[in-house]
Chain A
Amino acid sequence: DTEVTQTPKHLVMGMTNKKSLKCEQHMGHRAMYWYKQKAKKPPELMFVYSYEKLSINESVPSRFSPECPNSSLLNLHLHALQPEDSALYLCASSQEPSGTAYNSPLHFGNGTRLTVT
């Protein structure tokens, strides 16, 4: 069982839709992440939040909008996506924030399988 919960598990959306992916953890972790994973590829970092503030944006298009309402929740708002955005979106969390020791591993959720039609 994963300690990072992602909803929904599957999402199909049209290019004009607006939807949101949700992620929740109750481990007291202060860093949270969004990764995108295409088929047969490794995960690619999109965003990092540390203490509920955006610390890393890997030049992600503005049609992806992250939000961290509190230390346990992380959302990814989607708008006007393209078919090439279809992928597995993974949320993760880790114990320490950016700028301090880097040795805390990431804990991943099972992901949201997104299909854009």
Chain B
Amino acid sequence: AQSVTQPDIHITVSEGASLELRCNYSYGATPYLFWYVQSPGQGLQLLLKYFSGDTLVQGIKGFEAEFKRSQSSFNLRKPSVHWSDAAEYFCSIKAAGNKLTFGGGTRVLVKP
């Protein structure tokens, strides 16, 4: 069965600083990986996705993620964080049966 681990429950970053959120997955075949963001009281918005090809994936809102098969990782990055980036971020994997499985999430706090 597939699984996703996000080691960091909370991350605090200063506005304008860089951000990296870690994600590790476990799956026996080629993974389909996604990052979603959730603002308080809202649904989930897709930031980016990886299926195959170029391992560096660009997403919306200035985010990018790098797939590293050797490390089973799919870390999310942003060079310069804005106050509006404060939210919960979920890494997820899609596998057999059309099931999307989420990691535990990382809450990002942005300091002025």
Residue ranges of A at the interface with B (Cβ–Cβ < 8 Å): 2, 4, 6, 31, 33, 40-43, 45, 48, 50, 55-56, 90, 92, 94, 96-99, 102-103, 105-111, 113
- How close is A7's CB to chain B, nearest CB, in angstroms? 13
Given contacts A96-B98, A106-B100, 9 further A-B contacts (CB under 8 A): A2-B43, A4-B43, A40-B105, A42-B102, A48-B99, A55-B97, A98-B97, A102-B32, A105-B49
Most chain B CB within 10 A, of A31, A50, A99, A110, is at A110
Residues of B in contact, count (CB < 8 Å): 24
CA distance A113 to B95 in the complex (A): 28
The residue of chain B having its C-beta at the shortest distance from the C-beta of A94 within the complex is B98
CA distance A80 to B98 in the complex (A): 29
In contact, A105 and B99 (Cβ under 8 angstroms): no
In contact, A108 and B45 (Cβ under 8 angstroms): yes
Interface CB pairs A-B, < 8 A, 27? A2-B43, A4-B43, A41-B104, A42-B90, A42-B102, A42-B105, A43-B44, A45-B101, A48-B98, A50-B98, A56-B98, A90-B44, A92-B44, A97-B98, A99-B98, A102-B32, A102-B95, A103-B32, A105-B34, A105-B49, A106-B34, A106-B100, A108-B36, A108-B44, A108-B45, A109-B43, A113-B41
Q: Across the interface, which residues of A come within 8 angstroms of B45, CB to CB?
A: 108
Residue ranges of B at the interface with A (Cβ–Cβ < 8 Å): 32, 34, 36, 41-46, 49, 51, 90, 94-105
Within 8 Å by CB of B43, from A48, A97, A110, lies: A110
In contact, B98 and A103 (Cβ under 8 angstroms): no
In contact, B43 and A90 (Cβ under 8 angstroms): yes
Given known contacts A42-B104, A45-B99, A45-B100, A103 and B94 CB-to-CB distance under 8 angstroms: yes
